Structure 1
Amino acid sequence: MEIERLITFLESSPTVRLLRADQVAFVVCFLRRTLKLTSEDSAISLSHEELQHQLSVFQEELRDDGYDVFSGSPDRYLREWSDAGWLRRFLPAEASSPHYQLTRYAEDAIGFLENSISRESRMVGTESRLRLVIDTLSDLVRGSSSDRDLRLQTLLNQRDDLNRQIDAIRGGAEIETYHPAQVRERFHTAVDLLKTLQGDFRAVEDRFEEIAREVTRGALDVDRGRGDILSGALDAEDLVKQQDEGVSFDAFVAFLFSPQAQARLRETINEVTRLEAIADQRGAIDHVRAMVPSLLAEAENVLRQTGRLSQTLRRLLDSQSTSHRKRTADVLQDIRTLAARLKQSTSQTETPVPSEIGLQVDTSLGVSSPFARPFWAPAAVFDVSVETNEIDWETAKRQARKLSGLKRLQWDRMRELVHQVTDLQTNIKLSELLEHRPPKVGVIELVGWMQIAHEDGHEIDAEATEQVTVTTDDPLTGTSNTVHIRIPLVTFSKLHQPENETVRKGKPR
């Protein structure tokens, strides 16, 4: 892989950000326990109230176990995890409160940790994976060939092999079975594939959600009609279904939603879980037992996502139709009001009703029939001179690396520091505060401190100034630069600390 691409991924990926988080063990443990499907009673999404309650219980368990972490409110952590890209927050059509589910980035991080830990505690098998590769390649050759003779010869060879095995068993030959190590190896291979399959559904959901966002953005364009919006959405949905992921997902749903296929799969799972060689693998057995309901739940969640796309279309179209109907109703109401006033005025003055009463219709709007066939007209010819524009790829790469290297300000922790320091002393200058917490993001962090002082009512004296020192790291050269900046005198005071200790997120202006 290219170095530039690897650096950009490590600096911007939410998956890597989760693995590098200070409290990654506790975050992953909670997300995996609540939103990873490990039993038939589990759910792949939870409401805000339910997840908030689960997090409160988890915080109490951590405090009982002696861990001094997660001391903030559950709402704060759910908001931060959603902003970081680890939780997906959405509002189902049938619910009145938001729901949460894992994103593909959180799925990747949890899967990576699960695979890494499980590899240390179980055997490293290669024979079953080799057979799986060979069987897959052989099936690929058979299934992609349209040669009738080749397909017939393959089926005859399979029939001969089956006949030899049947004759051997009838003749009293010893039946060959898998060694317990081979059973465990194949079982863990199947479990790993199942976990990977469950995590892959997030990519399909993200694609349909992206289509819904594009449809919503298109509806905000006043120049686009309802027909254009509907056509674009349907074309995008058809394109997803025609791609490899969509074709594979449709085949998966057709197979899994078949009652016969479900019955055979459940019977196979029951037989597998009774094998003595894997009797001690309780966690993996529970995961396999929940295979059918978990896969059905994942598939239904993706189908609900497509349903939400259809609901978005209906809402957009209905909203435009409603606005037209409302406008027509207002015009008709105005006509009734004017007619009533005219009738009242003529009855009171005993004047005859005007003989000519009518409506003034604005005919400036063109009305055309969709079946009209206009005369042919030659296409317009534009004489445009072509200009060559060369792109400096090195400069573009450097700017892209700078953009991907931007870091977010931790508003919650910054406000908590102000609260903690002002509890110890009444007033503190910004330069003194930076001694407790030197800038980690760069010069932009000074703007963040001044933004907090402005929003929370602390003192900012534009007439007086003070000088602060900031050390910045250059990601391109790997060197550190020290700059001296003169800023307005900012004083944080305990008297101006907001009474509500709930941390608010601010944005620099």
Structure 2
Amino acid sequence: MDLDELDRLWERHPAWRLLRARNAPLVLSFLGRHFIDENRGAVAAGQLVSALDDHLYAVHRIEPERYTQDASDYIDDWSSPESGWLRRFYPAASEEVHVEATPSLEKAYQWVESLRARAFVGTESRLQTLVDLLRQIVHGSETDPETRIAELERRRDAINAELAAAREGRFAVLDDTALRERYQQFSSTARELLSDFREVEENFRTLDRTAREKIAGWEGGKGDLLAELVTSRTDIAASDQGRSFQAFHDFLLSEGRQDELADLLGAVLGMPQIGAERRLRSVHHDWADAAERAQQTVRNLSEQLRRFLEDQVWIENRRVMELARAVEASALLVRDTVPRGDELGLEIDESGVTIALPFERPLYAPQPDVVVDSLPAPHTVDETGLDGLFAQRFVDTVRLAGNIRAVVPPRSVAALDDIVGLYPVEEGIAEILGYLSLADDDIAVEVSDGEMTIAYDDVEGEPRRVRMPRVMVTRR
């Protein structure tokens, strides 16, 4: 990080601003315990003011001259945009202001907590966690089937060896130091996960606020706005953060996973050598609550889209009603005015409107079944009736296209009667229709203004003439 970036963070970031504040100990001690340690979501502003008043009473018993402002003034100051440690909002179906902690407060609180001296710092369990993560990265991205099979067989052999040793009563048990080390890592990761949920919720809330701003200032069509909002919602759901959050949420909602977590936490709390915190017994419920708050923010975005569509439909229906009433008012104004002379009036072809009454239609009468026998009797078959099929004439459209290419150069136009004059009709009117049905890549047949007459001999040799619209043939 360069000097300019650090200057901006020092001046603008709410977490750094909190660390520089004169009443930072009060903010971190009260808000950190109330929201972060107890994993609370949004609470009513009056309830928070009452809790702060009790906290200040306990502080004033020891230091009467410290923190002399009212509790409500402190809450207003901490939730102002200049501070940014609390967020004020009105939840749905509530008329009371609610406040909740921001990710900046959580970052500052975690940093201050990291300054506390630790009597025990575990390293072995974290090293094993790092090695396990490396194994998951390497083996999870392997695409060679032989390599995957070899790794699975190695793990199977190790498990079989461990099973054989356990059956003989030989197995390693974690000592008290290893247990405390792993519990410390679990406790730290569990709290970090709750902090990450608060930041994910803030990112989703930013998307919701952006959508509200777009809806408030949108002047175009509904389709364009919906396409943009749905794209933004899809982008955040398809991002690494969105996919990871959804996978965690699905994992946590599994009933089997919840039962397993509850059993494991209960077993850990029962170990006397660890001294586990009672609050961690329900940490999986805290995870579920934090994930639900993030999901609720996403549902708010969908609710905004639904309200936008309903408002647009209401506005359009209102406009239609205004136009209909304007037409009715104009009709009432001119109903007694009879146009005279050449004034603008209304002309109709008939003096009345044809009325068709529904009951004038005849009732339905079922028709008798008709038996169709399509096979003629054997004695009525005409042996010479098939001769007409063999007398059919075939029009070669390839030959007609060749005639056009021989007469009309590329990128030129010619009339059909000129082409027929050079290549007389041989197959009668069917050949002329064949010219009209040509649709090759380099030939286009179009009908234009005017008429033309084509002379030809029919299949019997009789001279014929056909008058038709003027047809132009174009070579592309």
Work out whether the TM-score is over 0.5: yes
For residue 140 of structure 1, report the CA deviation from its aligned partner: 1.2
1:47 is matched with 44
For residue 22 of structure 1, report the CA deviation from its aligned partner: 0.6
Which residue identity lines up with residue 95 of structure 1 in the other structure? S
SS state of the match for residue 124, structure 1? coil
d(CA) in 1 for partners of 2:55, 2:314: 47
SS state of the match for residue 206, structure 1? helix
For residue 103 of structure 1, report the CA deviation from its aligned partner: 0.8
2:70 is matched with 73
Which residue identity lines up with residue 126 of structure 1 in the other structure? T
Identity of aligned residues (%): 28
1:160 is matched with 157
2:267 maps to 1:290: no
2:109 maps to 1:113: no
Match of 1:300 among 282, 292, 298: 292
d(CA) in 2 for partners of 1:358, 1:57: 84
TM-score, normalised on structure 2? 0.66
Unaligned runs of 5+ in 1: 347-351, 360-509
SS state of the match for residue 168, structure 1? helix
Distance 1:37 1:328, change over 3 A: farther
1:249-328 alignment runs, 5 A limit: 249-279=245-275, 281=276, 285-328=277-320
1:263-316, Cα deviation, whole Å (9 max, x unpaired): 11111111111112112x4xxx23421211110011000000001111222223
d(CA) in 2 for partners of 1:222, 1:176: 66
Match of 2:235 among 234, 239, 249: 239
d(CA) in 1 for partners of 2:11, 2:54: 33
SS state of the match for residue 46, structure 2? helix
1:6-59, Cα deviation, whole Å (9 max, x unpaired): 232222211111111111111111112221253xxx632212222122122222
Relative to structure 2, which stretch is displaced further, 228-237 or 28-37? 28-37
State whether residues 91 and 99 of structure 1, in contact with CA within 8 Å, keep that contact through their aligned partners in structure 2: yes
Which residue identity lines up with residue 69 of structure 1 in the other structure? R
State whether residues 256 and 296 of structure 1, in contact with CA within 8 Å, keep that contact through their aligned partners in structure 2: yes
2:32 maps to 1:32: yes
1:391 is matched with none
1:392-416, Cα deviation, whole Å (9 max, x unpaired): xxxxxxxxxxxxxxxxxxxxxxxxx
For residue 67 of structure 1, report the CA deviation from its aligned partner: 4.3
SS state of the match for residue 217, structure 2? coil
- Specify the structure having the higher radius of gyration (Cα): 2
1:132-170, Cα deviation, whole Å (9 max, x unpaired): 111111111111112211211111111111111111121
Distance 1:60 1:322, change over 3 A: farther
1:96 is matched with 95
Which residue identity lines up with residue 34 of structure 2 in the other structure? T
d(CA) in 2 for partners of 1:105, 1:22: 17
Distance 1:36 1:358, change over 3 A: farther
Distance 1:255 1:222, change over 3 A: closer
Which residue identity lines up with residue 101 of structure 2 in the other structure? L
1:12 is matched with 12
Unaligned runs of 5+ in 2: 347-476
1:114-193 alignment runs, 5 A limit: 114-117=113-116, 120-173=117-170, 175-193=171-189
d(CA) in 1 for partners of 2:311, 2:37: 38
State whether residues 194 and 287 of structure 2, in contact with CA within 8 Å, keep that contact through their aligned partners in structure 1: yes
2:201 is matched with 205
1:431 is matched with none
State whether residues 218 and 224 of structure 1, in contact with CA within 8 Å, keep that contact through their aligned partners in structure 2: no
Which residue identity lines up with residue 212 of structure 1 in the other structure? D
SS state of the match for residue 290, structure 1? helix
d(CA) in 1 for partners of 2:279, 2:345: 76
d(CA) in 2 for partners of 1:111, 1:358: 83
SS state of the match for residue 273, structure 2? helix
2:354 is matched with none
SS state of the match for residue 115, structure 2? helix
State whether residues 211 and 233 of structure 1, in contact with CA within 8 Å, keep that contact through their aligned partners in structure 2: no
Which residue identity lines up with residue 42 of structure 2 in the other structure? S
1:57 is matched with 54
State whether residues 240 and 246 of structure 1, in contact with CA within 8 Å, keep that contact through their aligned partners in structure 2: yes
d(CA) in 2 for partners of 1:182, 1:97: 49
State whether residues 251 and 257 of structure 2, in contact with CA within 8 Å, keep that contact through their aligned partners in structure 1: yes
SS state of the match for residue 65, structure 1? coil
2:223 maps to 1:227: yes
For residue 247 of structure 1, report the CA deviation from its aligned partner: 1.0
Relative to structure 2, which stretch is displaced further, 296-305 or 55-64? 55-64
Which residue identity lines up with residue 12 of structure 2 in the other structure? S
1:212-250, Cα deviation, whole Å (9 max, x unpaired): 222222224353222122111111111111111111101
Relative to structure 2, which stretch is displaced further, 15-24 or 196-205? 196-205
TM-score, normalised on structure 1? 0.62
SS state of the match for residue 183, structure 2? helix
d(CA) in 1 for partners of 2:188, 2:86: 23
Which residue identity lines up with residue 256 of structure 1 in the other structure? L
d(CA) in 2 for partners of 1:32, 1:24: 11
Distance 1:77 1:321, change over 3 A: farther
d(CA) in 2 for partners of 1:265, 1:161: 26
State whether residues 218 and 225 of structure 2, in contact with CA within 8 Å, keep that contact through their aligned partners in structure 1: no
Which residue identity lines up with residue 91 of structure 1 in the other structure? Y
Alignment size in residue pairs: 340
